[in-house]
């Protein structure tokens, strides 16, 4: 139980507060919408309290791997009676936070306004104005059916969450299981440790190309003809011939430049990056198998799960931001209706007993 929220607010009102609370306009507008559309007069602070309390309940369910996802072996089939395929993605995204310095100023203003009154307890502020939240997605070919989670914890926390979601959908029972993500070391580590059943780990082609363009522009000059020509040559080779040819071309060009020179260092940096991830860059083979080579669904979830948190002028405590992200993840996992149905059923069971 979450205490006073559940004791005094019906399941229907909780659902309405969460529905309007996850939209970017904020809790003031959410309270106005409730009054205009449902004739419910609830203060913005109360709406916030109800929505975040519900978000914490959802966090508990997500952590236990008990979200009723519609992603399964059957919904993941490429065609009727055909093989099932599932993709896994992970990424980090920055969320604006309230710093301790800002908290101190707010407390001082509240004390002046409420001299002699009760001041609401405030959580400790963040050390930095932005904090990286981590997001994981599991989805089938069309991205219609998916399971999404997010956390303010570190990559170990996300890894544990990801492992539980994989168990929820029966990841090991899919015929084809692969990850598509950028080249961050923490992502590769968590995928290898938590999901050893994955058959492929694909370096997102957009991130691959970003590293190529960064290196050739550093080497030959931003936007120069040589940078454009060599960059296109490398990308064409990666897409049509494979990573081995890319490494050969880079090695040949590297030898054309003096040891220790800026140009050579730029190419050597790209060589090191791609050599370390060569097994994730076999794009011709992936394309021949019909695999996606872009992490667009995961990138989209980074935007969707944080759009409520990144409104104009918005700053958050971790304790407030994480529950709101969990509500958005519930909605994006197509589990919103099933979650609230379970809440009604739990209430009916309590009333019978």
* pLDDT per residue as tens digits for the range 207-243: 999 999 999 999 999 999 999 999 999 999 999 999 9
- pLDDT higher than threshold 60 for residue 335: yes
More confident residue, 77 or 315: 77
Classify 306 as helix, strand or coil: coil
* CATH numeric code, 85-202+295-303: 3.30.420
Quick one: pLDDT at residue 3?
A: 36
Quick one: pLDDT at residue 309?
A: 95
Give the confidence band of 312 by pLDDT, cuts at 50, 70, 90.
Answer: confident
Hey, where are the domains in the chain? 4-67+335-352, 85-202+295-303, 207-280
Quick one: pLDDT at residue 126?
A: 62
Quick one: pLDDT at residue 104?
A: 64
More confident residue, 345 or 4: 345
Q: Report residue 225 as tokens.
A: 């003809």
| Cα 40 to Cα 318: distance, rounded to the nearest angstrom | 29
C-alpha distances (whole Å) from 295 to each of 82, 126, 220, 277 are: 24, 30, 29, 16
What is the reported pTM? 0.90
Residue appearing with tokens 């990144």 = 310
* pLDDT per residue as tens digits for the range 147-191: 999 999 999 999 999 999 999 999 999 999 999 999 999 999 999
- pLDDT higher than threshold 50 for residue 300: yes
Residue 274 phi/psi, 5° resolution? -75, -35
| Cα 338 to Cα 61: distance, rounded to the nearest angstrom | 13
* pLDDT per residue as tens digits for the range 76-135: 999 999 999 999 999 999 999 998 766 666 666 666 666 555 555 556 656 688 999 999
């Amino acid at each position: 139980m979450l205490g006073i929220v559940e004791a005094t607010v019906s399941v229907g009102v909780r659902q309405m507060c969460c529905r309007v609370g996850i939209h970017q306009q904020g809790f003031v507008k959410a309270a106005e919408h409730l009054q205009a559309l449902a004739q419910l007069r609830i203060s913005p602070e109360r709406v916030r309290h109800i929505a975040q309390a519900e978000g914490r309940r959802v966090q508990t369910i997500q952590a236990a791997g008990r979200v009723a996802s519609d992603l399964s072996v059957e919904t993941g089939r490429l065609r009727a009676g055909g093989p099932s395929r599932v993709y896994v993605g992970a990424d980090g995204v920055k969320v604006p936070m309230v710093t301790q310095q800002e908290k101190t100023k707010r407390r001082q203003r509240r004390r002046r306004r409420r001299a002699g009154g009760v001041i609401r307890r405030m959580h400790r502020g963040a050390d930095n104005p932005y904090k990286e939240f981590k997001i994981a997605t599991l989805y089938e070919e069309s991205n219609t059916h998916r399971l999404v989670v997010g956390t303010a914890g570190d990559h170990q926390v996300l890894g544990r969450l990801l492992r539980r979601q994989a168990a929820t959908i029966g990841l090991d029972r899919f015929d084809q299981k692969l990850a598509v993500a950028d080249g961050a070391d923490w992502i590769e580590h968590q995928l290898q440790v938590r999901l050893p059943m994955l058959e492929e780990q694909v370096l997102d082609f957009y991130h691959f190309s970003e590293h190529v363009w960064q290196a050739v522009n550093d080497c030959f000059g931003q936007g120069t003809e040589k940078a454009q020509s060599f960059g296109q040559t490398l990308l064409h080779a990666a897409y049509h011939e494979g990573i081995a040819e890319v490494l050969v071309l880079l090695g040949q060009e590297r030898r054309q430049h003096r040891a220790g020179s800026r140009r050579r260092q730029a190419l050597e940096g790209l060589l090191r990056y791609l050599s370390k991830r060569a097994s994730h860059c076999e794009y011709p083979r992936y394309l021949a198998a019909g695999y996606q080579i872009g992490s667009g669904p995961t990138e989209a979830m980074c935007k969707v799960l944080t759009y409520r948190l990144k409104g104009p002028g918005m700053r958050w405590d971790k304790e407030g931001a994480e529950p709101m992200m969990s509500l958005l993840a519930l909605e994006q996992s197509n589990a919103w209706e099933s979650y609230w149905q379970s809440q009604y059923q739990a209430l009916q069971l309590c009333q019978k007993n």
